[in-house]
Chain A
Amino acid sequence: MKFIKLFALLFLLPSLGFSQIGSSVQISVSATVVSESPVEIITITNMVIDTEEIIENEIFISPLNNPNAGLFQIIGMPNSQIRINYNKNVTILSEDNTGSVRVNYELSYYTERIQTASYAFSTDEQVLEFDETGIYYIWVGGNINLNNAVSGSYSGQFSIEIEYI
């Protein structure tokens, strides 16, 4: 608007103030073409398994409210849609391969880092749309079955695949 007022002052004196006198005008139409920028995935905290929470050989960590849930942040193009796939059921072997735990992952998401406001993923495949910030927080919890577990050290990875749609 500032630009238009200046223009009017230069050309319209001694006529009226802020309008462009004349019978024609141009409207500029523009769009910025960009390359697709990849989605960044940043791990903030890993999931913690607290053996004191074991009930009948299972531990359940709710992604919606358990502070032991893992958390990562994804950053992508604002206002774009993404599809998220992940391995829901995973078996993790102990370090010496004598035992295993079965993990059934459950995820939740929210645009801000407020776990209790997050929404549960509905199926294995989740579609989300970024807002203007281009950021989502994703909590990782799940059900851990220890029926085949033996004492020892377990280390597993959670893998996730994100693509624009």
Chain B
Amino acid sequence: MQSNSPQVLITKGEDLEFGQVVKGNLKRPEITLEAENAAWVKITAPRYEELEIVLELPEELTLAQHQIPVSIQASYANSNTATLKTAKESATEFPSGYATFHIPVSVRKSINSNSQRGPSMATNPNATSDVYLFFHGSAGPASLNIPSGLYSGNIFISVSLRNP
């Protein structure tokens, strides 16, 4: 079950809905990072901490015992930007082939401190920042001999504070 971690709040934005995939057609519907329907979650956490993020990305979407392939790229933005749009513009892609990542909650340097970890006298130790995770990609192709219908899968995201 979910563990309760009050210092890390996750808000889910969009799911990843690719729309129609036509059987036997080589064209694969795509959602780009910039698209309005790219999936995202927002993680609100203490600004001077580091996050451990575990991602599980599906490689197929399923209906009963049938599948179609899906290709998903994940990226993150931790520049403490103001809007979803500017977060997308500053996003960095997660390298593929790994499931666990460590990233600082905010890469914005504190004026009064040499270190990004730990509060200084002039900063608020209870300050939080938002980290965005984005997901985009493409679905298909679908072969002619599978049934029509809704094919689905899930992206699993676990986030926790990385304690020293």
A and B together in one complex: yes
A residues touching B (Cβ–Cβ < 8 Å)?
A: 4, 15-16, 18-36, 77, 80-81, 164
Of B23-31, B91-99, B100-108, the one contacting chain A is: B23-31
CB within 8 Å of A: which B133-156 residues: 135, 139-140, 142, 146-156
- Complex contact A32–B44 (CB within 8 A): no
19 cross-chain CB contacts under 8 A: A20-B12, A26-B155, A27-B41, A28-B152, A28-B153, A29-B70, A30-B153, A31-B20, A31-B29, A31-B68, A32-B20, A33-B63, A33-B142, A33-B147, A35-B22, A36-B24, A77-B20, A80-B25, A164-B25
- Complex contact B10–A24 (CB within 8 A): yes
Known: A23-B2, A77-B22. A30 touches B156 (CB 8 A): no
- Complex contact A27–B157 (CB within 8 A): yes
- Complex contact A22–B61 (CB within 8 A): no
Q: Which residue of B lies closest to A12 (CB)?
A: B9
Please encode chain B, from 1 to 28, with 1 for each CB lying within 8 Å of some chain A CB and 0 for all others: 0111110111110011111111111010
Known: A20-B11, A33-B148, A36-B22. A27 touches B39 (CB 8 A): yes
Partner of B61, one of A19, A27, A30, A35: A30
- Complex contact A27–B135 (CB within 8 A): yes
Partner of B16, one of A27, A36, A80: A27
B residues touching A (Cβ–Cβ < 8 Å)?
A: 2-6, 8-12, 15-25, 27, 29, 39, 41, 44, 58, 61, 63, 68, 70, 72, 135, 139-140, 142, 146-160
Known: A21-B6, A21-B9, A23-B2. A32 touches B151 (CB 8 A): yes
Partner of B15, one of A19, A29, A33, A34: A29
- Complex contact B157–A26 (CB within 8 A): yes
- A25 CB to nearest B CB, Å: 5
CB-CB under 8 A from B61, the residues of chain A are: 29-31
Count of A-B contacts judged by CB separation below 8 Å = 138
CB-CB under 8 A from A34, the residues of chain B are: 20-23, 148
- Complex contact B155–A29 (CB within 8 A): yes
Q: Which residue of A lies closest to B17 (CB)?
A: A30
Separation of A33 and B150 alpha carbons in the complex (Å): 6
- Complex contact A32–B19 (CB within 8 A): yes
3 A-B pairs with the lowest CB-CB distances in the bound complex, closest first: A31-B18, A22-B2, A27-B155
- B101 CB to nearest A CB, Å: 14
CB-CB under 8 A from B3, the residues of chain A are: 22-24
- B108 CB to nearest A CB, Å: 22
Partner of B41, one of A16, A25, A35, A164: A25
